[in-house]
Structure 1
Amino acid sequence: MARNNRDAPYRIPFGPRGIKWFRDQSFSSIDNLIRDELITRLDHFTEQITVIDQQLEELRVSFPQVEALLNIHGIGLYTTLVIVAEQGEVERFRSAKQVGAYAGLTSKVNLSGGHCYYGSITRQGPPWLRWVLTGVAIHVIRRDVPLKRFYTRIRKRSGAKKARVAVPRKLAEISWKRLFRWQTEHSVQPV
């Protein structure tokens, strides 16, 4: 489309109307082949996403505690399942701060001769949990007012990089608290 100086007239160019408009466009013969190939790929990946979404819905039944996390802004079913799977049993941790350390989102501490040096994050623990939490943090601070205030406070005090790590750590703590509360309310016994 860029080679032919055309813009989609729709805000979501790959929605149903945008795809129909895209199919109706006439380009050169090579560009038409490329367009048809891209539409075929998009249809294939859409079908694959539908299959995976169905499998995630089936997993949702096996893990009823995901309901405790689904109402956090920016957290979907896939993210919730990753958090539940990576954190494991909530009784393993005595406090929420231990979950942040388990996820590898706390800073390294080097004590030497009465001085305390704080370094980068430890990156210990499951990388998938860290990856999911940092990805969700970007979306959460846009809508969740308390976490946005937390992010802003840390950013003003320590900079944007540290704030981008502090929010996922806080999300790890919040998710553990919600899962712990859900488990005590539903009195689920570990298997």
Structure 2
Amino acid sequence: MGEVVTIGLDIAKSVFQVHGVGADGEVLIRCRLTRARMLPFFAKLPRCLVGIEACNNSHYWARELSALGHDVKLMPAQYVKPYVKRGKNDAADAEAICEAVTRPTMRFVAVKSPEQQSLMMLHRVRLMLNRQRTQISNAIRAHISEFGVVAPVGRLGVERLLEVVADTGDDRVPEDARLCLQMLAAQLDGVKQQILENDRRVLASARRTELGRRLMDIPGIGPLLASAFVASVADPSVFKTGRDLAAWIGLVPKQNSSGGKDKLGSITRAGNRYLRQMLVVGAMAVIRYAERHGTKRPWLIQLLARRPAKVAAVALANKNARMVWALMTSGERYREPMPMAV
């Protein structure tokens, strides 16, 4: 039996499929492992290249196998799918991963550290808490409106409704309904406190790192977005250019070119949706400020003169993503452009 040089590992919750080949491509290992047998099995193998599809627990296994001396590469699942020959099962997936990881043009995902995963969890929990706050607020509005009590849209309107719920002397709301609304009000207050604590930790994380402080110098990038970049982009050198990072976020135009004719459409909206949304929101804030107070950035002035504000916001978000890549790879600080000559 020859020496295994490349392994495709299809991971799951409890069952893992292994497909290993030698230097000549001959299949040497094809087996299924339980979770308890994973690390002992790889500890006995010589150093080899291990390919894994990037998913929710792939970073953990990549760190564990790297600690055993193996060279672990994570790949997006959509880039592995074309290598599946026929059918869909664990063995076929592991074989496809083993083939894909050896391709010279394959794009890999940088392995995140536990700290980066923890920081990204803050952002995901923040999104969930904000959705819960909206759901509870809408539930309070809907239930209390059945008794003819309404309030204006916005947080101030919800506060007025909560005052009615707390006022036991207001006979517009029956006792049983008031009890239910008080439960919702208590849940809303708890969610608000959790959001405040979450935001405090995100702000502290952005200011704690030197990279986060440098990213916050870019107009349109605040603590939340700087913290998200630090957590999401584990290794900026994975992207060869700033455009590659913008494409990963989904801020570059779609292409439908053929016969030497270039046809560009709207942005792809592929990749990291969270970063894309916050980049556009930050760019829109910069544009609104520029419309009211002016700006010294000549590129933005020219863009706003010929494009609608929302289109300009997407273009500015693309530009900001490229600047983020430049700062992350060069270690430099943001420099404000020179004002236009009058």
Judging changes above 3 Å, is the alpha-carbon distance between structure 1 residues 117 and 61 closer, same or farther for their aligned structure 2 residues? closer
Q: How many angstroms apart in 2 are the aligned matches of 1:6 and 1:96? A: 50
Question: Any unmatched runs of 5+ in structure 1?
Answer: 186-191
Matched-pair contact (CA < 8 Å) for 1:107–1:119: yes
TM-fit CA distance, 1:46 = 1.6
Q: How many angstroms apart in 1 are the aligned matches of 2:217 and 2:178? A: 44
Of the three residues 200, 207, 211, the one matched with 1:65 is 211
Of the three residues 25, 28, 34, the one matched with 2:173 is 28
TM-fit CA distance, 1:81 = 1.1
Counterpart of 2:166, as a letter, is: R
Q: Deviations over 1:165-191 (max 9, x none)?
A: 32321221233344456x236xxxxxx
Matched residue of 1:114: which SS?
coil
Of the three residues 322, 326, 339, the one matched with 1:173 is 322
Q: TM-score, normalised by structure 2?
A: 0.41
Number of the residue aligned with 1:137: 283
Counterpart of 1:176, as a letter, is: W
Q: TM-score, normalised by structure 1?
A: 0.66
Name which one, 1 or 2, has greater alpha-carbon Rg: 2
Q: How many angstroms apart in 2 are the aligned matches of 1:104 and 1:184? A: 25
Matched-pair contact (CA < 8 Å) for 1:96–1:177: yes
Judging changes above 3 Å, is the alpha-carbon distance between structure 1 residues 60 and 105 closer, same or farther for their aligned structure 2 residues? closer
Number of the residue aligned with 2:247: 101
Number of the residue aligned with 1:50: 196
Judging changes above 3 Å, is the alpha-carbon distance between structure 1 residues 127 and 5 closer, same or farther for their aligned structure 2 residues? closer
Number of the residue aligned with 1:115: 261
Q: How many angstroms apart in 1 are the aligned matches of 2:305 and 2:244? A: 23
TM-fit CA distance, 1:153 = 3.7
More strand by share: 2
Kindly, what percent of the aligned residue pairs are identical?
27
Counterpart of 1:78, as a letter, is: L
Q: Which has the higher contact order (CA 8 A, sep 6+)?
A: 1
Q: How many angstroms apart in 2 are the aligned matches of 1:90 and 1:117? A: 29
Q: How many angstroms apart in 1 are the aligned matches of 2:209 and 2:188? A: 31
More helix by share: 1
Say whether residues 1:38 and 2:184 are aligned partners: yes
Judging changes above 3 Å, is the alpha-carbon distance between structure 1 residues 80 and 43 closer, same or farther for their aligned structure 2 residues? same
CA RMSD of aligned residues (A): 3.8
Matched residue of 1:108: which SS?
strand
Q: Deviations over 1:116-150 (max 9, x none)?
A: 11133234443332233233333332225448646
Judging changes above 3 Å, is the alpha-carbon distance between structure 1 residues 150 and 132 closer, same or farther for their aligned structure 2 residues? farther
Figure out how many residues of one structure are paired with residues of the other and give that number. 179
Matched-pair contact (CA < 8 Å) for 1:105–1:123: yes
TM-fit CA distance, 1:73 = 5.7
Judging changes above 3 Å, is the alpha-carbon distance between structure 1 residues 91 and 45 closer, same or farther for their aligned structure 2 residues? same
TM-fit CA distance, 1:44 = 1.0
Q: How many angstroms apart in 1 are the aligned matches of 2:209 and 2:258? A: 45
Kindly report structure 1 stretches of 4+ aligned residues shifted beyond 6 Å.
none
Matched-pair contact (CA < 8 Å) for 1:151–1:167: no
